[in-house]
Amino acid sequence: MFSPFQKKKSRLEQQSREDLDLDMRRDLDEPQEEVSLNSTPSEMKEEASSSVLINKGLLDKSSLDLVFAVEQMIKDKQHVEMSHNDLQDRLNHSNGQNDRLNRDLKNLGKVIEEREKSILELERKLTDKNLKVDQIMEDFRELQSTMSGQNEELKGVIELERQNYAGLLQKHNEMITDKNKRISELEEKSVRYESELTQMKQKFDALRQEKTHLLNVVNDFTNRLTSPFASNAGITEESPID
């Protein structure tokens, strides 16, 4: 596979050979001394020098071969100069691209260095975070273990308190039953006592009435007994006065 430069060089050489053959045919038919208006100064100079070598139709074969060789050398020189200029342009372009790539590479190196610093910083922060997370997990496991023990202990305490509560509730129910029973007994006694009190009141009223009656009888009897003595005493007292 040929490079673009080699292809271009091959095309130039082929074109040069074709131009040389054409010039040879033209020189054999008719001398050419005209100069193209579009030719460069170097081409005009070379054509002028070649025109000095002149009428090829008057030359013998050896001279003609020499002229052809000189013209071929001139054209080869032109091709070499064109190739050199082309290569120089390509070299300058490559140097420019190389300089740009070097600058880009340097900038890229700085960017990579900054990114590496950022990555190292992130790795350090990540390591710190992982250490904190590990510490938190360790604390969590310790707390979970402690809480598990406390939960078991609290379960035992709750079970004991539940049993105590069940016992106290049973005692409370028994006490309420006994209390209700005593209240019932006391209510029965109270009813009985009220009944007895009512009877006693009735008896007391009866006794009081009887006592009152007896007192009235006694007072009446006493008044009757004391009445004659009071009248006799009054008579006795009136006699001395008279």
pLDDT, tens only, 197-224: 889 889 888 888 988 888 888 888 888 8
pLDDT in tens, 67-87: 888 989 999 999 999 989 999
51, part of any domain: yes
In a domain, 166, yes or no: no
Sequential DSSP letters for 28-70:
HHS------TT--HHHHHHHHHHHHH--GGGS-HHHHHHHHHH
pTM of the model: 0.34
Name the band, by pLDDT with cuts 50, 70 and 90, for residue 131: very high
Tell me if 2 sits within 8 A of 10, measured CB to CB.
yes
Q: What is the pLDDT of residues 134-184, one digit of tens each?
A: 999 999 999 988 888 888 888 888 999 999 999 999 999 999 998 898 898
Answer yes or no: are the C-beta atoms of 35 and 48 closer than 8 Å.
yes
The answer to whether residues 53 and 64 touch, using CB atoms and an 8 Å cutoff, is: no
Residue 41 has pLDDT above 60, yes or no: no
Residues 12-25: tens digit of each pLDDT: 555 555 555 555 45
**Average pLDDT score, the chain:** 77
Number of domain units in the chain: 1
CA distance 71 to 63: 12
Residue 229, in any domain of the structure: no
In a domain, 84, yes or no: yes
- pLDDT score recorded for residue 34: 39
pLDDT number for residue 228: 62
Q: What is the pLDDT of residue 27?
A: 47
Domain residues for the domain of 61 are: 4-110
Q: In 111-122, which positions are buried (b, 16+ CB within 10 angstroms) versus exposed (e)?
A: eeeeeeeeeeee
Answer yes or no: is 86 within a domain: yes
Residue 67 domain-assigned (yes or no): yes
| 148 domain-assigned | no
- CA angle, 23 then 26 then 29, to 5°: 150
CA–CA separation, 57 and 64 (whole Å):
8
> What integer pLDDT is reported at residue 237 of this predicted model?
53
Assess if residue 43 is contained within a domain: yes
Q: 36 pLDDT exceeds 50? A: no
